[in-house]
Amino acid sequence: MGRRILTVNKFMYPRGGDCIVALNTAALLREHGYSVGLWGMDYPDNMDTEMSDIFADRVDFGGGMRDKIRAALRTMGYGGIVSQFEEALRRFRPDTVHFHNIHSYLSPAIVETARRYGCRTIWTLHDYKLSCPAYVCMRGGSPCVECMTDKRAVIRHRCMKGSVAASLTGYAEGLKWSVERLARATDTFICPSRFMRDMAVKSGVPAEKTAVVPNFVDPEKLKVLSSPVVAEGCIREDAYGYFGRLSEEKGICRLLEVASRLKYQLHVYGSGPMEDELRARYGGMANIHLHGQTDAASVARAMSRLRFTIVPSQWYENNPLSAIESLCAGTPVAGAAIGGIPELISPGVNGVLFRHDSAEEMAGAITSLFEGQAFDHGQIAAEARARFSAESHLALLKPLL
């Protein structure tokens, strides 16, 4: 096959969904005969790679003033990031560079660098940075697309950490790395959901430069998800579960508020910036179990035992792995009808949908799944495992490389 693929992501350890997808995709390509290199920002938790010694210098947005200035310069493509990436290109000599999450800690400057070196450039979109300087298209706990037509809104509303300085940096970054400029340097933007593709096109990405390629489940994790008996009639725990980051945009606050008023057992797996606050508020409740961060195998086993899982997001969720993995375990999903979530759920077949901004509809969906709505767990698992398999993903990805 012979093609050499350089995978680029700001972190090279399972820090979040973008990192997991980047690492899993690199491993998948390697298994199918591609020569794959990994490059990112130097960070103590990174896995060791053949190019770890030439990773980009670490920047810290949360440090002192000097650190903040270095980090701000990095977002604009200064401070040596281009020369450091050029060294990676010279060492690995890729045919294609597959970019993932590169804003801020790396820089979009490296996409133009790869293009100058004659590489094919593909870029998987994990968030809405092309549309929103603050990444999430949210303001005040609700979806917001104001920056799609006026980037100055990020300053007016202090969307970046509530800070004028941080928001000015985001605004400047958006002006310099405009969608039009990045589209000229990128051959294909890979969108894990149709919703993400539509948002990218509305933001100015040429439709012909987009491709919808859903995420896939890591084959090793799929083995764990497939191990329980999921045939119709199997015994499942009389409980439901949330798997994900404990942060506002994920809807965890509304979920726990609703769960606290219901009689059903909820298991929460994950960590995040709101963990301490949520433990203080709900940790003593008999029907809410906060398990914190756990390993992938434990998560997979828990998903396979529950009555259903819930994805209560308040932001434009892209193609959530938690929902995909749940379906691969034969476990139905109650999902907020926002972003790419409705693309995964067929109501009555593999789950239910509810309005993302309605606590009442969420409570009704939870109750309906406990009070009699039945599902064919085997069918859910079989359809999801085919749709989100590594083989299906690779078939869509190969023509883009």
Could you give the CA distance from residue 90 to residue 94 in angstroms, rounded to a whole number? 9
* Top-level class of domain 4-216+389-400: alpha beta
Per CATH, the number for 219-387 is 3.40.50.2000
- What does the angle CA 73 – CA 74 – CA 76 come to, to the nearest 5 degrees? 70
pTM of the model: 0.91
pLDDT of residue 2: 58
CATH 3.40.50.2000 residue window(s) in the chain: 4-216+389-400, 219-387
Interior/surface letters 118-140, b for 16+ CB within 10 angstroms, e for the rest? ebbbbbbbbbbbbbbbbbbbbbe
pLDDT of residue 68: 87
pLDDT of residue 233: 46
Which segments of the chain have a pLDDT < 50? 1, 229-233
Q: How many CA atoms lie within 13 A of 136 on its CB side?
A: 16
Q: Is the dihedral of CA 124, 128, 131, 134 positive or negative?
A: negative
pLDDT of residue 219: 85
CB 138 within 8 A of CB 315: yes
pLDDT of residue 148: 87
